Structure 1
Amino acid sequence: MIGATISSVGAVTSGTRSNEYGFFSLTIPEGEYQFKVGVVGYAIDTRTVQLNKNIQLQIALKPEDNNLSEVVIRSGGSTQKVSSAQMGVEKLSMKEIDQVPVLFGERDLIKVVQLLPGVKSAGEGNSGFFVRGGAADQNLVLLDEAIVYNPSHLLGFFSTFNSDAIKDVTLLKGINPANYGGRLSSVMDVRMNDGNNQELRVNGGIGIIASRLTIEGPIVKDKGSFLISGRRTYVDMFMKLSSDTAIKKSALYFYDLNLKANYQLGQRDKIYLSGYLGMDKLGLSDLFGLNWGNKTATLRWNHQFSPKLFSNTSIIYSDYKYDIDINTSESFEGKISSQIRDWNLKEELSFYPNSNNTWRMGVNSIHHTIRPGEFSGDFSMDNQPLTYSWENAAYVNNEWKASDRLKIDYGLRLSAFSVLGGPQQFYELDQRGAILSSRQYSKNEIVQTYFNLEPRIAAAYQLNEISSLKVGYSRNTQPLHQLSNSATGSPTDKWVATNNIIRPETAGQFSAGYFRNLKDNKYEFSAEAYYKAMQHQVDYKDGANIRSNDPIEPQLLFGKGRAYGVELLLRKKTGKLTGWIGYTLSRSEKQIDGINDNEWYAARQDRTHDISIVGIYALNPKWNLSATFVYYTGNAVTFPTGKYQVDDQVVYLYTRRNSYRMPAYHRLDLSATRQLKKRGRFTSELAFGLYNAYGRENAYTISFRDNPNDRSKTEAVQTSLFKFVPSVSYNFKF
């Protein structure tokens, strides 16, 4: 279990938490102690133990019936948010994810993450998110340690994570421990369920557009378990009922599959094998097809060298790919493919020398292969060559309890990103960005290596039992970059690696905050302020076409960025009514020579105000009600400032980048869950939802066209996706 709290009362009073692998170590003097072990949603287990030698206890926590309808978000005990040195950390309860109303009634952990302060939705129906002014590609999304490059289904309307297969979700907003690296803004660490090692269990659900099924059980009781979880939409099946032949042949669906198994080799060793496969298919008759998906696999070995030294070794595979099929006529047929594939080796040691220190140290090595674009069929363009790179890191981190009031979490990460040779060309550019010369290196020859030191430190001073002050600083680097010149992200946005011209992005973030628990820990309040300075930011030149087959480097510009803001959060954790109110006031800006007269301009993800209100009410043992309200300032966007005609064709004139705003966005969602009659082990429920309850027509895109009656006039046309979206789903478990 992740984040279980272990506390002891006896000769000394002490406590700790289990790490992401369920391991912990607590060193206390010899004597008789009362131990309490607990985790959210389970009854506390109390044991009296005589400590005079090393012993091993098997403790199976039982679900706490009166907590089944309670929604709790916490990162450990009730005062953990106050006492921990870490800032900007949120843990999400899977029960809460099940309760929050979302689009089409599909449970979606990323949609819940977007409701937290400092986290902003990338737009209507989009599973992308912006954290503290960073772009969507500056978030490191991990599934059992494997990188997920595109965590979305159906062009962003759903995330890749099936909540039935997920055990734990942790979001870190910038001040990350040294074991995380490779992105500037945040880490979303998602851990899959291990499976039930006691008995066979089945649960699932049937919704209006998708169904899911999960099976878990023991391989060998008490020694190993497995989990299989699948989900699929079936809009395409309804399309086949249409009388229109083109609609019958069209495709619009996704599926995903989660697999996991683990086995206890002995008292000191355990192995895990997990995998994920997800695929989207979008097609318009026989004319056009877009398929994209992720594949990940993780093989992990846990070994306990001693009661104070724990090891985790992982081999990780990650693959993201998309294919575009085009068949516009009998004489033209072609296919475009792009892919990013990683092989990753990690080794980490956790050392617990005493109750005041927890050391983590490790190394990480990733080999990246990027296929920017491969063309087949009737295309006249040449294939874009593969690019290779090698990302390495070594780190050390310590959680230090300096005194009863002061806790410090500090660490250092050394990253090294090596650009490797291969079929690609390496260019030399002049001051205007024109190509002067090019050169090719042999495969896997090291062309250039970028070294970066990344210090991190966070400290908490506890003013009293219910309040604390915290400060922190971290430096992060990012060697991979996602390029997009569309207002909304798409699966075909291009990933490029650092090379001799494109340098790793870097960011230094300062944070400070005040944390307080209220009313006997029933409420949590926090206020955090941050300032982030970013270097080597990448943007495209005016008129650039990053989807073309031309070299990308001459189409890019480089500069700096800054993001700053204040995040406020008030959360009620217990009782019939639970939920939170979050508010973010922030700015995110860039300054790049060649854009907007070299002045600071708003980044696409810049939003001044962002408000989220979440309420969940346990009406009675049979009914749970929930509602969410969101409001945020519209994204910065580039609109035309004029137009002219060339050969009777209208051409729009664009001047300043991101100098306009989309309209403000707001929406209310409602849901109700009815528990049905329990029959032995079989339990079930009906979940009703209403997305966008008051029918707000929020702008998805705004385009421009000539007035059909007067071509000298221009009309702005708003496209909205959803008005009222009701949903109903049936969920079961046995």
Structure 2
Amino acid sequence: MEDVSLKGDFTWYADDHNTIRFGWLGTNHLFKPGVAEGKGETTPFNKVEMPKSRALEGGLYVSNEQKIGSLLTLQYGLRFSVFSNYGNSTVYSYDSEFIKNDSVTYSKGQIYNTYTALEPRISLAYTLTEFSSIKAAYTRNVQYVHLAQNSTGGTPLDIWFPSSPNVKPQKGDQFSLGYFHNIERWKVETSLESFYKINHNAIDFKDFAELLLNEYLEGELRFGKARSYGLEALVRLNEGKLNGWVSYTWSRTFREIPEINKGIAYPATYDRPHDISIVANYQLSKSISIGANWVYATGSAVTLPTGRFVIGNTIAPVYSDRNSYRMPDYHRLDLSMTYSPQAKPDRKWRGEWNLSIYNAYYRKNPWVINFVPDPNIPNATYAEMTYLFGIVPAITYNFKF
């Protein structure tokens, strides 16, 4: 996907109690589903290039931050968005069984489909004491560009595609409530936030979907609803030689689509109940600082084969319920050291050296699971994991004028 965008943001300080912000954004989207091309003299197939699609997206927004007395701050606003598909393009239509039954071709630059939406938002912050406050918010977001993720363990394929006559925009309503407290003595910020989100027109692939180089991809999609909820806790140290933060998020995300998993709600691919981040930076001297960053997340939800059956000479897998298994948990430690020599008075630029180690304890975080034939057991397979990165050291030099 390629985007070209233009935007403008403006702020008007109307008076001591009202700060008005407004602006616009325009984006031209170009979607490139993919190209398959054989290399070599004995290529068994010719080059295959999927049709490109194009769309324009625009938005106008206005918001006001209003102070009501000394304790209450209210923010409210409205965004108007528009999304239009344009040619050249061929659009397919599908029957109630998602089988292609017709097509229409549109010429270059011809707009053939448009969606519009209003996206309101409101939030309030109430000061309890000098160091604590509570905040509540409601936001509606409309998503015109979609990322569909295949959850089958052996094929971690992500596909970007636009809203269209066959694919409605996703609309999300999110509610949040949080408590914030600063410990002035230790220069520490703490917060605890909760959220609940309802997503309409949620998208997922049907069972046994054909994703790669499929011109009729929209016929492989199924639509329903999704819901997310969770808690986020944060402790941040802002000042002193040692600074950093510790954050923990517990969250769940479920989809409910009539044609998938017998209509029973199932975890989304990106449902990761536990997420931890620990960041620490320490200033050893005026010129040298060191840092460490440790992250942990529950493994993503996947659908794995639990058996297989034979039809003639063909072996077909039997899969589990949708996303009923988990990849191994993800975690890693990154380390860094930065050397910043003191700037010279006669030099108009300043530089620094950074030495970093990605995945310092060589955690093998799996990217994909493949099931391969077991050479020792006839008609049996075993799981084989593919990993992305081991330990990755790096040295960089940064400078600024």
- Tell me the TM-score normalised to structure 1 length: 0.49
CA separation of 1:448 and 1:635: change in aligned 2, threshold 3 A: same
For each residue in 1:362-381, what CA deviation from the matched residue of structure 2 results, as whole angstroms up to 9, or x when unmatched? Answer: 44444444454578899657
CA separation of 1:524 and 1:502: change in aligned 2, threshold 3 A: same
How far apart, CA to CA, are the structure 2 residues paired with 1:632 and 1:434? 39
CA separation of 1:407 and 1:489: change in aligned 2, threshold 3 A: farther
Question: How far did residue 521 of structure 1 move?
Answer: 6.8
Structure 2 residue matching 1:440: 3-state secondary structure? strand
Task: Work out whether residues 35 and 47 of structure 2, in 8 Å CA contact, stay in contact via their aligned partners in 1.
Answer: no
For each residue in 1:389-410, what CA deviation from the matched residue of structure 2 results, as whole angstroms up to 9, or x when unmatched? Answer: 3333332211111111111110
What stretches of structure 1 of length at least 5 have no aligned partner?
Answer: 1-319, 321-339
- Once the two structures are superposed, the pairs formed by residues 387-426 of structure 1 within 5 Å of their partners are 387-420=53-86, 422-426=87-91
CA separation of 1:437 and 1:410: change in aligned 2, threshold 3 A: same
- The match for 1:351 is 12
Matched, 1:718 2:379: no
Structure 2 residue matching 1:528: 3-state secondary structure? strand
Which of 116, 131, 140 is the matching residue for 1:475? 140
Matched, 1:708 2:381: no
Which of 229, 237, 241 is the matching residue for 1:564? 229
Matched, 1:503 2:168: yes
- Once the two structures are superposed, the pairs formed by residues 217-232 of structure 1 within 5 Å of their partners are none
How far apart, CA to CA, are the structure 1 residues paired with 2:83 and 2:73? 33
Matched, 1:697 2:364: yes
Task: Work out whether residues 137 and 175 of structure 2, in 8 Å CA contact, stay in contact via their aligned partners in 1.
Answer: yes
How far apart, CA to CA, are the structure 2 residues paired with 1:719 and 1:356? 57
Matched, 1:455 2:116: no
For each residue in 1:222-257, what CA deviation from the matched residue of structure 2 results, as whole angstroms up to 9, or x when unmatched? Answer: xxxxxxxxxxxxxxxxxxxxxxxxxxxxxxxxxxxx
Matched, 1:518 2:183: yes
How far apart, CA to CA, are the structure 1 residues paired with 2:385 and 2:240? 43
How far apart, CA to CA, are the structure 2 residues paired with 1:347 and 1:430? 42
CA separation of 1:594 and 1:694: change in aligned 2, threshold 3 A: same
Matched, 1:666 2:342: no
Structure 1 residue matching 2:366: 3-state secondary structure? coil
Structure 1 residue matching 2:378: 3-state secondary structure? strand
What stretches of structure 2 of length at least 5 have no aligned partner?
Answer: none
Structure 2 residue matching 1:425: 3-state secondary structure? strand
How far apart, CA to CA, are the structure 2 residues paired with 1:675 and 1:539? 49
- The match for 1:430 is 95
How far apart, CA to CA, are the structure 2 residues paired with 1:453 and 1:678? 51
CA separation of 1:428 and 1:730: change in aligned 2, threshold 3 A: closer
CA separation of 1:730 and 1:503: change in aligned 2, threshold 3 A: closer
Which of 278, 286, 289 is the matching residue for 1:624? 289
How far apart, CA to CA, are the structure 2 residues paired with 1:374 and 1:672? 42
Question: How far did residue 436 of structure 1 move?
Answer: 2.7
Structure 2 residue matching 1:711: 3-state secondary structure? coil
563-572 vs 629-638, which deviates more? 629-638
For each residue in 1:466-486, what CA deviation from the matched residue of structure 2 results, as whole angstroms up to 9, or x when unmatched? Answer: 110000000010111233437
Matched, 1:541 2:202: no
With a CA cutoff of 8 Å and minimum separation of 6, indicate the structure with the bigger relative contact order.
1
How far apart, CA to CA, are the structure 2 residues paired with 1:499 and 1:678? 55
How far apart, CA to CA, are the structure 1 residues paired with 2:393 and 2:29? 43
Question: How far did residue 612 of structure 1 move?
Answer: 1.1
Matched, 1:642 2:307: yes
How far apart, CA to CA, are the structure 2 residues paired with 1:525 and 1:632? 21
* Equivalent pairs, count: 394
Question: How far did residue 713 of structure 1 move?
Answer: 3.5
Share of identical aligned residues, percent? 42
For each residue in 1:310-357, what CA deviation from the matched residue of structure 2 results, as whole angstroms up to 9, or x when unmatched? Answer: xxxxxxxxxx5xxxxxxxxxxxxxxxxxxx344x45455432221211
Question: How far did residue 728 of structure 1 move?
Answer: 4.0
Aligned-partner residue type, residue 594 of structure 1:
E
How far apart, CA to CA, are the structure 1 residues paired with 2:285 and 2:6? 50
Task: Work out whether residues 149 and 269 of structure 2, in 8 Å CA contact, stay in contact via their aligned partners in 1.
Answer: no
Aligned-partner residue type, residue 720 of structure 1:
Y
Question: How far did residue 553 of structure 1 move?
Answer: 1.7
- Tell me the TM-score normalised to structure 2 length: 0.87
How far apart, CA to CA, are the structure 2 residues paired with 1:730 and 1:423? 46
Aligned-partner residue type, residue 125 of structure 2:
A
How far apart, CA to CA, are the structure 1 residues paired with 2:80 and 2:225? 22
CA separation of 1:493 and 1:690: change in aligned 2, threshold 3 A: closer
How far apart, CA to CA, are the structure 2 residues paired with 1:363 and 1:686? 39
How far apart, CA to CA, are the structure 2 residues paired with 1:697 and 1:492? 20
Task: Work out whether residues 494 and 547 of structure 1, in 8 Å CA contact, stay in contact via their aligned partners in 2.
Answer: no
For each residue in 1:404-457, what CA deviation from the matched residue of structure 2 results, as whole angstroms up to 9, or x when unmatched? Answer: 11111100112222333x342333322211123223345444433322111011
- The match for 1:110 is none
How far apart, CA to CA, are the structure 1 residues paired with 2:3 and 2:363? 41
How far apart, CA to CA, are the structure 1 residues paired with 2:49 and 2:356? 47
- The match for 2:258 is 593
For each residue in 1:284-332, what CA deviation from the matched residue of structure 2 results, as whole angstroms up to 9, or x when unmatched? Answer: xxxxxxxxxxxxxxxxxxxxxxxxxxxxxxxxxxxx5xxxxxxxxxxxx
Aligned-partner residue type, residue 694 of structure 1:
Y
Task: Work out whether residues 483 and 546 of structure 1, in 8 Å CA contact, stay in contact via their aligned partners in 2.
Answer: no
How far apart, CA to CA, are the structure 1 residues paired with 2:73 and 2:398? 44
643-652 vs 703-712, which deviates more? 643-652
For each residue in 1:522-580, what CA deviation from the matched residue of structure 2 results, as whole angstroms up to 9, or x when unmatched? Answer: 11001110011101111112222222243222111111111111000000000111010
Task: Work out whether residues 423 and 441 of structure 1, in 8 Å CA contact, stay in contact via their aligned partners in 2.
Answer: yes
How far apart, CA to CA, are the structure 1 residues paired with 2:16 and 2:186? 25
Task: Work out whether residues 232 and 250 of structure 2, in 8 Å CA contact, stay in contact via their aligned partners in 1.
Answer: yes
Task: Work out whether residues 385 and 423 of structure 1, in 8 Å CA contact, stay in contact via their aligned partners in 2.
Answer: no
